[in-house]
Structure 1
Amino acid sequence: MDILDKIRILADSAKYDVSCSSSGSSRGSKSGALGSTSPSGICHSFTSDGRCISLLKILMTNFCIYDCAYCQNRISNDIERAAFAPEELIALTMSFYRRNYIEGLFLSSGVIISPDHTMELMIRIIKTLRQREKFNGYIHIKIIPGASSHLVHEAGLYADRVSVNIELPEEANYKALTPEKNRASILKPMKQIAENITENSEEKRLSRYIENFVPAGQSTQLIVGATPTTDGKILSLSQGLYNDYNLKRVYYSAYIPISSNKLLPQLSAPPLLREHRIYQADWLLRFYKFTADELLKENENLDVNVDPKTQWALYHMELFPVEVNRASYEMLLRIPGIGLTSAKRIVRARKLSSLTYEGLKKMGIVLTRAKHFILVGGKYHGNFAMKPEFIYEAISEKKDQIQLSLFGEIDRNLSLLDPGDELMMKKAGISQLIAEKAIISKSLGGDF
């Protein structure tokens, strides 16, 4: 098969794996070697469907002995197949790197003959790149579940990052959708990699001549929407992986309907907004000191109309409004519209003088959200007197549709009143209802 046809087939087959990110490792240039790697050195570009293609992202082969129902490359699927010989991929990587097409290699593969056989071929590729070709760029390799522990360790000696994809959030999902795999075969290499990274860190403290082992850490991927699993269970699993296996990232991939299997949902489009909300919640777990239990119960899903931090805040209105001139750094991080950088700016600035509302605007705070949850010098700048239902309508991404529903409810309340009954009018607070309708109408015209 022509090399261009192989690239077309195997690059397309690799696009469903979203575990591409900045390198996270640093490797300086050396005499006689080609290239270098910096922590932020992978340039990002995106395909038409929004997926990152920052590396030469390719499969060694899309032949596979497994029959995973959700996978395009499953053995029962009638698709065009191709395979690279190790030397072909080595030459392709070096050629692309010299032409400045890429900054590294993202190598995955279908399983051929056995997990060990496949891993041996993949290791031959990255080992030859490092040792014979003196390739000093970034390499991310997928570990094949079920491969021997010595092969897992050897892969980590030549790669900057490794990943073992969990794919399915619950054990029961494996039995139904991918009977050849199980959770244990995936968690075993993840645990080994975590332990080897820890051991390597300890050895490097004793000697600077110790080689790096997976300097950019390990990651994994979960498919969102292929099973009935709730967002709460997905986030609980992710939190456990971060805590137990010291993962750098958990990536989430919206299920793309590529199979007519009755066990899989027949979606008209991938649940990309749900994927986005889970990424936002994952960010809160990693950097904002939230826990999965705080954000969601295991049987719940995230509200796609608002970001997870706003959803949490609306459920905990008893904690708000917060005076930004006195709130702790940890509490500032829990205010919608205030991020890591702006929270640090607030803490630094208020040491010099009291903060003002105008001053907050200059700090990069998203006041269209934050103003509903804060006091500035004792003054509340929100529009809805801390009423969570109105705040939700105002900052929801579907606020135009919700506005009509909300106005309908207010109008129904007004229609029940007798204009001639002054006492009833006062009891019902008609002036407040009319005022709220005017406030909402004005506020929803802005950018939330």
Structure 2
Amino acid sequence: MTDKYNLNQGQQDAADAFMNFLFSPDKEFIISGAAGVGKTYLMNYIIDQTLPRYFDMCELMGMKPEYDDVVMTATTHKAADVLGQSVKRPTSTVHSFFNLKVQNDFTNGGTKLTQGKQWKIHQRKIIFVDESSMIDTELWRMLHDGTMNCKLVYVGDRHQLAPVQEDLSPIYKHHAPMVELTQPVRNAGSPDLMRICDQLRQTVETGVFKPIRIVPGVIDLLDNNQMQAEISHRFSQQTHASRILAYTNKRVIQYNDHIRQIRALPDTYTVGEYLVTSSMVHTKQGQIAVEQELEVIANSGPQKLMIDKEHDVELDVNFLDLQDSFGEVWRRVPVMTDRTHYDALTKYYKGEKNWERFYYLKDYIADLRPRDAATVHKAQGSTYDTVFIDLGNISTCNFANQAARMLYVAFSRARSQIFLFGNLADKYGGLILP
């Protein structure tokens, strides 16, 4: 077998550990590492080289292989799309593979994970789960309930943000064998970016915040006028190259509204704009996934949509035709045009525990936002040439561990350059100027 791969020592050690894992009683294996250390490259090597060697060894030892299929999954649609393009293999979300559904909980206004009609227990499979730091306790239990004589391989970065309302993903709490890749194989020519990411990774580990050093041309601190000028320059047209990251949704909305003003766009979305779903949207054609990028191809104009006939409550909406990156078109999707009114209605129905109307607003009225600014949490799994980070907004986070992970995720999204805005609180290390 010709080996087309050239592994570094860390990757080779990880591949060897994976081979040992295949012959061990352990059910779970963790591959952890920051962006750019070759996790996907290692996955390809394991599938192309390690697994065939496993089957050869089983044959030599006169034993039947315990596993006969490899499955590639990820925790989000966006991550699954990226993984599929990288490994050139069929890839799905972990929810789709296990036939899991997120359902509204009409007893408390939350959501719960349930088994779909096609739920079954999978056997004799090696199941990779990418972006695994997002796995919460509920999903982790479902993965174990849905597998027998299987191997679960979690791939991600253990220093990233934890699942919502949890301090750490449960995959890291049960002493599963873990390998950690540390040697960069991408962007190795940006030592200043690698240095700050390593520093922030250490902060996640130790809880000790150190000052962030400004490095002109690589990590720049902007004042108000400079920030305005850079945003106007970088975002005058729609772009995938740059992204503004903040802590709160309110701040993200302010940035996106400001950028739309720079582009002289009206209050309502126009044909040709690229938007991102902030949450899952239910339509007659099916569900539009969270963080799905969509292009506006038609706008029917302002209309009134009846929300609550009993109390004569209407909401201003536009019905948009939207197209995703695969060419699928979603017709007449209602999109809010008055966010203040929408937020007031959801708050009111939640307070009244009128979950039927609350979920109608949440599920069927699309919350679409420009892609130019995003919360740090939503940016996990993505990389950009240039990243703007609102340090003042991040400093409003009152939880040190969350702030540490947020800073690490934000800085590690950048390939080439970082622009900082605002002051980083002293309790989170502050800044060192050149």
TM-score bin, normalised by smaller chain: under 0.3
More strand by share: 2
- Please identify the structure whose Cα radius of gyration is greater: 1
TM-score (norm 2): 0.22
More helix by share: 1
Structure number with higher relative contact order (C-alpha < 8 Å, ≥ 6 residues apart): 2
TM-score (norm 1): 0.21
